[in-house]
Amino acid sequence: MSAPEFDTSQRTEPDPGSEPESTADLTLVEAVRDGLRTELARDDRVLVLGEDVGRAGGVFRATEGLQEAFGRDRVVDTPLAESGIVGAAIGLATHGLRPVAEIQFMGFVYPAFDQLVSHAARLRSRSRGRFTCSLAVRMPYGAGIAAPEHHSESAEALFAHQPGLKVVVPSTPADAKGLLASAIRDPDPVVVLEPKRLYRATRGAVPTGAHTVPIGEAELRRKGSDVSVFTYGAMTRPAAVAAEELAAEGIDCEVVDLRTVSPLDRERIVDSFEKTGRAVVVHEGPRSGGIGAEVTATLQEAALFSQEAPVARVTGYDVPVPLHRNEDFYLPAAVRIVDAVRETVRC
């Protein structure tokens, strides 16, 4: 595949910030498409590549209509080869373009893992700052849609552990567009994990036009005083349901949506914990070595003397994600979060 013949000497500089004039009511997948369309229009260095992203519009229709609008040189259908997709994207990025590579499902990214950790993540340090790799890799992640094996992975900890990679996980349509735009504009590689169970689960107000959300900043979804619930992505919904149920019992939960799992917003995490003194971390990835362990260690290191009870984790289990018959037993449901919060508050 040859690189599009863009004049990279005439570059469009990134907008200084987000100043939306209006909003649109979009689903999360519609917000992803809107974000891609906006960035393709505002910067001719941006291109999209992946399996079926062109004529078919993507397996979840996230790229529907983009090839018709921007042409086959900027919305590129690739062979079914994840290592080739990411490898080609790295080459394009090192020549000044801003590729957005799509992996159809997170469970298929492992052949490309070597490209990400051995090359994309190391270009800045390997070249002592002379080269960067502005690359966004999008992939649907997580369970909850009754998909077969390899279609429900939640392996964000693998990427978060790798120096040189940033990892963002939106939970709202507005954040899906804003974090994606920030990933595309970032000078270094960013993994964008999209919770596919939320693609069409809800709608929300999304700023029209250019819109960014800062990478590395968590968002306070619900203020509370008794216990902090730290979560992200698809798990923000059961966490919110649990918080409302517990409020009826007089337990006031603070819900913090991490939004970026690498780098973590440690300042907001610690600030919340110092206020409540209790914490429950919720994610659907496996428990051992997961993001919850990193949040817990952060609290121990930075806010030990604020701690009123052991930090609890409500997570997936240390097993492959089961097929759909047992999927609900694997995923952290609101009832598991409620039980963990009750236990934490009783300590």
Asked if residue 136 lies in contact with residue 323, where contact means CB atoms within 8 angstroms, the answer is no
Biggest CA-to-CA distance, the chain = 64
**Cα gap 186→206, rounded to integer Å:** 21
Query: DSSP assignment, residue 190?
Result: E
Q: Alpha carbon 94 to chain centroid distance?
A: 23
**Triad 267, 268, 269: Cα angle to 5°:** 90
E-strand ranges in 265-304 read: 279-286
> Of the residues 119, 151, 211, 283, which is catalytic?
151
211 is a catalytic site residue: no
Task: Give the separation between CA 66 and CA 311, rounded to whole angstroms.
Answer: 45
Over its C-alpha atoms, the chain yields an Rg (Å, rounded) of: 20
Rounded Cα–Cα distance for residues 276 and 220 (Å): 14
DSSP assignment of 191-246 equals: EEEEEGGGTTT-EEEEESSS----TT--EEEE--SSEEEEE-GGGHHHHHHHHHHH
* DSSP classification of residue 121: G
**Which run of H or of E encompasses 339?**
helix 334-346
The residues carrying an active-site annotation are: 151
